[in-house]
């Protein structure tokens, strides 16, 4: 079998980035899996919608060992009409799910579409994830790390070797079988029997790993840095970020419609139904109730959609609020049409019945019936304005020194920003490089791991004002808590937004 060909990215893909998304699925199109009681999950956990990316170099094997080869041009249109390039990690659960989906795409249109894997490595991780258990070094002492450990890193090299030497069919077989039979704790000893069972040349894979492994890692690292890819999976089709559903049918539909693929599979694609949504909000809540990013992400999940916006202070808004039983705003409601859409697999676990609609759980916490504590208006009609009203007694806006006192109790400087995160959280992983960069620039940022009791104790004083999810950014100086990630519309790390928020925190 001829070796796969790599392709170069054009300039418009340079700003592409990452995304992680929920793996939870709702079986079928029925409603029996819809939750009946409300909860308040992390807002950003809902809008996480995955993404994949691209690999850019060509290696080739000769009897004398692995040697670099001039990059080849993309395959002629008559041979391959499109390319799908995916960035992932060997033992990232989301990446493994993407591999399964892409295998279905490969089986449907693999004769016309080239699928190219890339593997994600980091230059640094948190302090507890550095060293030989997670990283390798080159001669210049530059480090290249895997967040799932050194065996995950090694497995990424081996899988890339299989792709380059044996082609995409064998890569799929090897990667999927490794996902089933091995893991990030035993891959270095588990892989050989798997390869032997699949009839792969174990000696060739070992030779590739030994002779070209570091170069494979460095090449992938350079590409991920250049494209801004930080999370697994991230996908590009013909150098354009894929933001559609992570199902084989959705991807084939996109290939056929958006990228004009000519293939028999396109004749069997059904059109997506229109999903109707209602967003109920309250303009009095201001920026704290801004759901612009959420709506944008929902429009990506449901490409064919219609959405109406209703304000609570209108008669229609108050009627909708009462009929749906919504306690907090903002709220997003769906009609029954959502159950006919493939996007139900993404949002289904976060839907609850709400009257004649289905409400999306987004961790909203604004109660429109209570006093707003900083607008100079008697919202409840009891003659008490803002902090005079009992509704405001325990709010941060009426207790501005509370957070500063908490920080002082923990021995934190007034200008400290607290980054509250947990291991295995995709959005936290997205934030870590930005946090580390700010630390290197001299910003005072205290990283607190929610899974380590000694560290988590630092935020106990703030706990009553924090949400339940991660990540969260806490500013003691301004008594401000920012839940969720600083991400742009493509779900890349928004370094400018992160820096601006931290600067505003420090300035007070």
What pLDDT does residue 413 have?
A: 93
The domain boundary, picked from 209, 233, 266, lies at 266
Of the listed ranges 21-30, 217-226, 419-428, the one predicted with least confidence: 21-30
Half-sphere exposure for 486 (CA within 13 Å, toward CB): 19
Assign residue 334 the CATH number of its domain: 3.40.30
Return all residues near 64 (Cβ < 8 A) that are at least 6 apart: none
Please check whether residues 232 and 278 belong to one and the same domain: no
Q: Following DSSP, what letter does each residue of 470-481 receive, concatenated?
A: S-EEEETTTTEE
d(C-alpha 87, C-alpha 116), whole Å? 9
d(C-alpha 371, C-alpha 102), whole Å? 51
Please check whether residues 128 and 261 belong to one and the same domain: yes
Please check whether residues 111 and 34 belong to one and the same domain: no
d(C-alpha 95, C-alpha 21), whole Å? 10
pLDDT tens-place string over residues 450-490: 999 999 999 998 988 887 789 999 999 988 899 888 886 55
- 316 within 8 A of 278, measured Cβ to Cβ: no
The domain boundary, picked from 350, 369, 388, lies at 369
Please check whether residues 43 and 73 belong to one and the same domain: no
Please check whether residues 161 and 248 belong to one and the same domain: yes
> Quick one: average pLDDT of 13-21?
33
What pLDDT does residue 475 have?
A: 94
d(C-alpha 272, C-alpha 73), whole Å? 35
User: Hey, what are 130's tokens?
Assistant: 């550095």
What value does the mean pLDDT of the chain take?
83
Would residue 258 count as lying in a domain? yes
Please check whether residues 487 and 441 belong to one and the same domain: yes
Would residue 158 count as lying in a domain? yes
Q: Per the structure, how many domains does the chain have?
A: 3
What pLDDT does residue 254 have?
A: 87
Of the listed ranges 56-65, 247-256, 419-428, the one predicted with least confidence: 56-65
User: Hey, what are 207's tokens?
Assistant: 């030779």
Assign residue 423 the CATH number of its domain: 3.40.30.10
User: Hey, what are 471's tokens?
Assistant: 């990540």
Q: Name residue 115's beta-bridge partners.
A: 84
Please check whether residues 105 and 40 belong to one and the same domain: no
pLDDT tens-place string over residues 460-471: 989 888 877 899
Please check whether residues 120 and 211 belong to one and the same domain: yes
Please check whether residues 305 and 206 belong to one and the same domain: no
CA dihedral of 140, 143, 144, 149, whole degrees rounded to 10:
140
Provide the whole-model pTM: 0.58
Would residue 342 count as lying in a domain? yes
Return all residues near 462 (Cβ < 8 A) that are at least 6 apart: 403, 406, 418, 474, 476, 481
Its domain, for residue 421, covers 400-507
The domain boundary, picked from 352, 369, 386, lies at 369
Please check whether residues 240 and 282 belong to one and the same domain: no
d(C-alpha 8, C-alpha 87), whole Å? 15
- 113 within 8 A of 174, measured Cβ to Cβ: no
Band (pLDDT 50/70/90 cuts) for residue 31 is very low
Please check whether residues 35 and 158 belong to one and the same domain: no
What pLDDT does residue 489 have?
A: 56
Would residue 244 count as lying in a domain? yes
CA dihedral of 452, 454, 459, 460, whole degrees rounded to 10:
110
Would residue 130 count as lying in a domain? yes
Please check whether residues 460 and 439 belong to one and the same domain: yes
Would residue 144 count as lying in a domain? yes
Would residue 322 count as lying in a domain? yes
Band (pLDDT 50/70/90 cuts) for residue 491 is low
Fill in the DSSP letter of residue 35: B
Would residue 170 count as lying in a domain? yes
């Amino acid at each position: 079998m001829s070796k796969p060909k790599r392709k170069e990215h054009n300039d418009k893909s340079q700003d592409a980035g990452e995304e992680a998304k929920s793996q939870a699925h709702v079986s079928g199109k029925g409603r029996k899996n819809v939750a009946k009681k409300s909860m308040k999950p992390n807002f950003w956990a809902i809008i996480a919608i995955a993404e994949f990316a691209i690999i850019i170099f060509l290696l080739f094997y000769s009897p004398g060992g692995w040697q670099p080869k001039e990059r080849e041009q993309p395959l002629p249109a008559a041979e391959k009409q499109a390319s799908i390039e995916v960035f992932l990690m060997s033992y990232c659960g989301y990446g493994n799910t993407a591999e399964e989906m892409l295998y279905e795409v490969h089986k449907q249109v693999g004769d016309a579409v080239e699928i190219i894997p890339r593997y994600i490595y980091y230059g640094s991780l948190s302090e507890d994830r550095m060293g030989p258990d997670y990283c390798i070094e080159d001669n210049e002492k530059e480090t290249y790390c895997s967040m799932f450990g050194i065996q995950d890193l090694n497995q990424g090299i081996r899988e890339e070797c299989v792709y380059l030497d044996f082609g995409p069919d064998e890569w799929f077989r090897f990667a999927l079988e490794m996902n089933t039979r091995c893991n990030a704790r035993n891959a270095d000893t588990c892989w050989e029997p798997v390869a032997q069972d699949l009839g792969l040349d174990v000696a060739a894979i070992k030779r590739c790993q030994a002779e070209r492994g570091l170069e494979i890692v460095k090449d992938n690292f350079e590409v991920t840095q250049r494209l801004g890819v930080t999370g697994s999976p991230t996908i590009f089709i013909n150098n354009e970020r894929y933001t559609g559903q992570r199902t084989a049918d959705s991807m084939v539909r996109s290939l056929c419609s958006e990228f004009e693929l000519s293939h028999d599979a396109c004749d069997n694609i059904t059109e997506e139904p229109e999903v109707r949504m209602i967003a109920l909000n309250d303009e009095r809540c201001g920026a704290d109730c801004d759901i612009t990013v959420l709506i944008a992400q929902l429009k990506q999940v449901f490409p064919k959609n219609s959405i109406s916006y209703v304000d609570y202070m209108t008669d229609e808004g108050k009627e909708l609020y009462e009929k749906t039983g919504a306690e907090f705003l903002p709220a997003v409601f769906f009609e029954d049409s959502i159950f006919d859409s493939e996007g139900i697999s993404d949002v289904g676990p976060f839907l609850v019945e709400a009257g004649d609609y289905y409400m999306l759980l987004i961790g909203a916490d604004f109660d429109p019936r209570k006093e707003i504590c900083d607008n100079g208006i008697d919202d409840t009609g009891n003659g008490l304005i803002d902090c005079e009203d009992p509704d405001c007694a325990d709010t941060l806006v009426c207790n501005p020194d509370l957070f500063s006192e908490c920080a002082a109790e923990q021995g934190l400087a007034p200008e400290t920003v607290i980054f509250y995160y947990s291991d295995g959280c995709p959005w936290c992983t997205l934030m870590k490089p930005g946090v580390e960069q700010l630390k290197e620039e001299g910003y005072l940022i205290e990283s607190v791991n929610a899974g380590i009791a000694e560290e988590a104790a630092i935020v106990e004083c703030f706990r009553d004002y924090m949400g339940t999810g991660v990540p969260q950014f806490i500013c003691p100086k301004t008594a401000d808590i920012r839940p969720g990630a600083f991400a742009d519309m493509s779900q890349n790390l928004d370094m400018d937004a992160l820096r601006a928020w931290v600067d505003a925190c420090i300035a007070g």
